[in-house]
Structure 1
Amino acid sequence: MITLLRGDLTQWRRIRTRMPTSQAVAAAADARAAGDWRTAAALADTVVDVDLDDVRDRFGTEAAAAIAEDLRHLALDLLLWHLPRHHGGMTTLRARTSAVLAPQAVDHGTPLLRVRLPLSPTGPQRLRLTVATLADLNDHRWYVAPRHTWDIRETAAIRAAWCCSADRSPLLAPDGTPLPWSALGTGDDAAAATERVYLLLAAGEHTAAWRACGIELPFTDTKALHRDPATPTCPVGLAAEIRAAAATFTERPRFPAERVDTLFGAHLNISVGDGLVAAESDPHDYNEGPPQVASGPIPADLALLHAGLSTPDDLHPLLRSALFPTLPPARHRGDHRSATDLRSPTTGVVGPPGRELPAESAVGEPGAPVRVRCRGEWHIVGVRDGALRLHNHDANELRREQALRVMGGASAGCFAVRDTWLTGAGRLPKALAAQRTRVRERLLDGDTDWLLDGLARGVVDPLMRDGSGWSLRHMAMWVDHPRLLPLLDAAGLPVDARDRIGRTPLYVAVMNGGDIALIRALLDAGADPYAETVHGASAIRVAGDHARRDDRASLDRLWRDRRTAADR
């Protein structure tokens, strides 16, 4: 029944299994306790672009002190739990969006901490922490991240935001076990009242649910209140959040009325006046404008707990202690590692930690042998010594197969699997496809050490391709590329390797917000900025349209330097 309120629990279960490990969270907490907020941010895979001296020069000592105080208590590993994701089963962060960390008070010139999400859903999933003003946010899509989603001093406020009772959270007993559907909404406590709103949403009574949460709706068409029938927008706690944002952002130069975040598909204008919160249906798509308050379905973690797909011990420790204050401390898997232990052994730079994956992910363990139906028999293939090996075929058979391909023949059985593995075109056995997915996801998580270990042990093939034809060089933007690229060069992977529609690693890096250092490294290795896809696009043509505004100047200089060098 919980799927009536959240139809995306499978997606969110996958998202939760790919959050920072308990060791990384503990290391970040140790770094914050020691006053090292930069290391804590790096452990949450965040690039820090904050210069406190510059903030002091631009905005004054008092403003810089307020920013510094928030940075000391900023838990980006907790904010990751609350950031919006793409719909449709994806685990990546919502692209081209910023979370503005709610300040105590703000005017047009007040400096704000801004967390910029990735440029693309298939780009590097690193966050970027910057300082901005309201004027800087014009024409950007952003929302206010409440303090309980990132400030370790105020995490307990999530109980009020999610309308929990003194002893339990909605949908759950005090110990975090799920309540039966028939028991929801009974009683006069806050959690029961919240459950009654959930039941109204599940029954399709959206207008009644919003009014029960203190938001007046002067219309009867409820299309604006839900993205689709399975995932209605939840108004619980929204009125209080809107009032708080309205009180904080009192001198915004644009959009004086608060707006529900169109990231979640609810096209509404929400206004505050004389204590009354009212919503008006808005048929226009405001994705290009900056929404101020986020509202989505019911919290994913409550739904996962109620569905039995997670336990309180699976939550971020700060979230767990806020929602279940009477539970004993959680016991996490693995040994505790400090921030020093999580540094790269070769560079000393804190990098993204490996993820704790569910036991069933062992099915996709790279290097495991896989059965393939070939010539009426079951054969074995698997990655060994850095390449996909066809264990039931000798060198002579491989040469005959290559000659057959030269003459235009089609591959079958083990040889067809090998072709798909090296090009991305075609179908793989499920177990081998799972290995390919495992490699891609670990790279998308930024786990350089895991990849390098697999390459060193020969269980990851440096010439493999994913289903789109992306090579490891295409995926280098997700990891510590200075450590990976030399290994790909040694393996003979071309610098301009093309995917199934002709995109090169350089094109992909430019389109998806890859680091300028990676783009420079690819150009130094001979990448062609004019190489065209099947649609006629090239890296140099799309740079101005798809790069972040603050990266465009660097790219322009890079292209100019290359042209100058070529003319000499």
Structure 2
Amino acid sequence: MQEHLANGATRLHVWRLVRAFAVPPPMIETSTARRAAGDWAGACAAAHVDVDLNLRRLARQRGPDLAARIRADLRHLAPDLLRWHLPRIGPDGLLRPGLTVALARYEDAGLTLVARTPPAWAAGGQRFSLTLWDGETGGRHPDRHFRLDLHRHLWDARRAGELRDRAAGDWAHEARQVFPDAPTVLVKAGARRLLLDVRAGAARAARSRDPRLPVLPHASTWPAPDLELLEEGLIEPGDLHPLVAAALAPGHARARAPVRPGDARIVDCRGTPHRIGLVGGVLCALDHDPAQLRREELLAALGGPPLPCLRAIDQAHRHPEDLDDVRARLDHGDAAGALAAVEDLLGPDALLRAGALREALETAAERRIRHGLFRAGLNPTR
């Protein structure tokens, strides 16, 4: 899955960004609580996963036994863990668009449980959907290179602990896990296509494409990014998804400092630590008297260097492109988290004045509407 991101250290820094913002802790906590209570649909809603299947209708049409099997898988689906592991692309580590990923196959019934990411034009706000694919009623075919039915530990909470044994990206080991009866498998590594002798563990260049050969999924061909991040010291075990941390760093609990929205922010103001904070719903420089602030504002208007406290206030209100955490949360579809980050700086009762930040938050809401049109079968770009 990492093939679609940048290479080397840059790639790992992209993954660190993804781990910080793509699956926020409140999403994980809420989704986990609903899953533990047996509410799989509620868990999906909490993880921003749209459910496009009806088990009652399926039971009437195909029988209760099939519906019960699918329901059992859905009850153990951790949609937040699935979001954590879905394929991503650079440069920002967003979900790979237009992808259909198999999660579970019910071959006797000709059905596959799949996750689908919307096409790029849909601007889905990093939402994705869950549905059943029967191979006949249209829709994108499940991608041979992304088969999480062969990597259930990346979405099934019961098997999440298997990640520790399968995180290294050992091709031969993985091939024996996913295709135990295949003597040879096809491996796509970057731009290369290789034939892997499973028993010998040796690979050679593939000179032709044989569609009959099983394809080793991308999740088998690269070390897990979380393992690499831990080994490079770019992330702490407490920053991982709890199920991932339990597999890769047993005994380390997720721990994040509580956020207190009303706290003042400290600014280095010409060598002196000063506070900016909310007063009557307005962000103010708390350690400057009004007369000094008026003089500084006049000097800035005449072209002088702005006071650092005033620059921080202006940045918060007018230049959210410089607030990396707000931008990253918006990019990864976490509008609520972006607003919370703003409130952390401005305070929960502050009025969000017109500007780039409010426009960005409004755009996030518009993406949700566009994604709804896409799910309804309408192309809003037409």
Contact residue 94 and residue 117 of structure 1 kept, 8 A: yes
- Offset at residue 236 of structure 1 (A): 5.8
Say which SS state the counterpart of residue 297 (structure 1) adopts. coil
**Which residue in the other structure is 1:13 paired with?**
16
1:149 deviates by 0.9
The answer for the alignment partner of 2:212 in structure 1 is: none
The alignment status of 1:437 with 2:324, answered yes or no, reads yes
Which residue number in structure 2 is paired with residue 317 of structure 1?
242
Distance in 2 of aligned mates of 1:111 and 1:38: 20
Distance 2:76 2:363 in 1: 30
**1:226 paired residue number:** none
2:378 equivalent in structure 1: 553
Shift of 1:553: 2.8
Larger Rg: 1
Give the aligned partner of residue 81 of structure 1: 84
Q: CA deviation at 1:147?
A: 0.8
Query: Which residue identity lines up with residue 115 of structure 2 in the other structure?
Result: V
| Residues 260, 97 of structure 1: alpha-carbon distance in 2 compared, 3 angstrom cutoff | farther
CA contact (8 A) 1:243 1:272 kept: no
Tell whether 2:358 aligns with 1:472.
yes
Shift of 1:26: 4.7
Q: Where do 1:252-331 residues align within 5 Å? A: 260=187, 265-268=190-193, 280-281=205-206, 293-295=217-219, 296-323=221-248, 327-328=250-251, 330-331=252-253
Give 1:100 shift.
1.6
Q: For 2:129, what is the secondary structure of its paired residue?
A: strand
Q: Distance in 2 between matches of 1:396 and 1:157?
A: 60
Report the counterpart of residue 447 of structure 1 in structure 2.
336
1:457 and 2:348 matched: yes
Post-superposition offset of 1:160? 3.8
Inter-partner Cα distance in structure 2 for 1:472 and 1:381: 24
1:153, distance to aligned residue in structure 2 (A)? 2.4
Deviations along 1:182-222, one digit per CA (max 9) or x if unpaired, are xxxxxxxxxxxx8xxxxxxxxxxxxxxxxxx6xxxxxxxxx
Q: How does 1:161-560 map to 2 (within 5 A)?
A: 161-162=166-167, 235=171, 237-240=173-176, 243=179, 260=187, 265-268=190-193, 280-281=205-206, 293-295=217-219, 296-323=221-248, 327-328=250-251, 330-333=252-255, 356=256, 368=265, 394=294, 413-414=305-306, 434=322, 436-443=323-330, 444-447=333-336, 450=340, 453=343, 457=348, 461-465=352-356, 471-478=357-364, 481=365, 509=366, 514-516=368-370, 548=374, 550-553=375-378, 555=380
Q: CA 1:387 to 1:82, structure 2 compared with 1: closer, same or farther past 3 Å?
A: same
Cα distance, 1:45 vs. partner?
2.5
Aligned residue for 1:127?
Answer: 128
2:296–2:306: 8 Å Cα contact kept in structure 1? no
Question: How far does residue 69 in structure 1 lie from its aligned partner after superposition?
Answer: 1.0
Distance 1:318 1:420, change over 3 A: closer
**Corresponding residue of 1:499:** none
- Cα deviation, residue 75, structure 1: 0.9
Equivalent residue, structure 2, for 1:111: 111
**Cα 1:26–1:298 shift into 2, 3 Å:** same
Contact 2:175 2:198 in 1 (8 A): no
The Cα shift of 1:115 comes to 1.6
Change in Cα spacing, 1:302 to 1:5, as seen in structure 2 (3 Å) is: farther
Structure 1 gap segments, 5+ residues each: 164-193, 195-212, 214-234, 248-256, 285-290, 334-355, 405-410, 425-431, 466-470, 482-508, 519-546, 560-568
Match 1:151 to one of 156, 160, 169? 156
In structure 2, C-alpha distance between the alignment counterparts of 1:98 and 1:155, rounded to whole Å: 21
2-structure distance, mates of 1:14, 1:396:
37
Q: State the number of aligned residues.
A: 351
Q: Give the whole-Å Cα distance in 2 for the aligned partners of 1:458 and 1:65.
A: 48
Distance (whole Å) between structure 2 residues aligned to residue 445 and residue 52 of structure 1? 29
- Pairwise CA distance, 1:457: 3.5
TM-superposition CA deviations, 1:446-477 (whole Å, max 9, x none): 32561684676366744232xxxxx5334335
Distance of 1:138 and 1:278 partners within structure 2: 31
**Aligned-partner Cα distance in 2 for 1:18–1:438:** 8
- 1:47 and 2:54 correspond: no
Q: Secondary structure at the match of 1:70?
A: helix
What is the aligned partner in structure 1 of residue 64 from structure 2?
61
Change (3 A) 1:554 1:309: closer
Check 1:300–1:123 CA distance in 2 against 1; reply closer, same or farther (3 A cut): same
Q: Partners in 1 of 2:77 and 2:14 — Cα distance?
A: 27
Q: Is the 8 A contact 1:96 1:141 kept in 2?
A: no
SS at match of 2:97: coil
Q: CA deviation at 1:36?
A: 0.8
Q: Conserved in 1, the CA contact under 8 Å of 2:101 and 2:142?
A: no
Deviation digits for residues 456-502 of structure 1, max 9, x if unmatched? Answer: 6366744232xxxxx53343354xx4xxxxxxxxxxxxxxxxxxxxx
Residues 297 and 65 of structure 1: CA distance in aligned 2, closer, same or farther (over 3 Å): same
CA-CA distance at 1:150 after TM superposition: 1.1
* Distance of aligned partners of 1:60 and 1:383 in 2 relative to their CA distance in 1, 3 Å threshold: same
Offset at residue 74 of structure 1 (A): 0.4
Kindly provide the amino acid, as one letter, of the partner of residue 125 in structure 1: Q
AA aligned to 2:361 is M
Post-superposition shift, 1:277? 9.3
90, 99, 102: which one pairs with 1:100?
Answer: 102
Contact 1:372/1:413, CA 8 A, preserved across alignment: no
With normalisation by structure 2, the TM-score equals 0.67
Q: Percent identity?
A: 25
The residue type equivalent to 1:98 in the other structure is: T
Conserved 8 A contact 1:50-1:129: yes
Residue identity matched to 1:463: A
Across the aligned residues of Structure 1 and Structure 2, the Cα RMSD in angstroms comes to: 5.1
Match of 1:308, SS state, is: coil
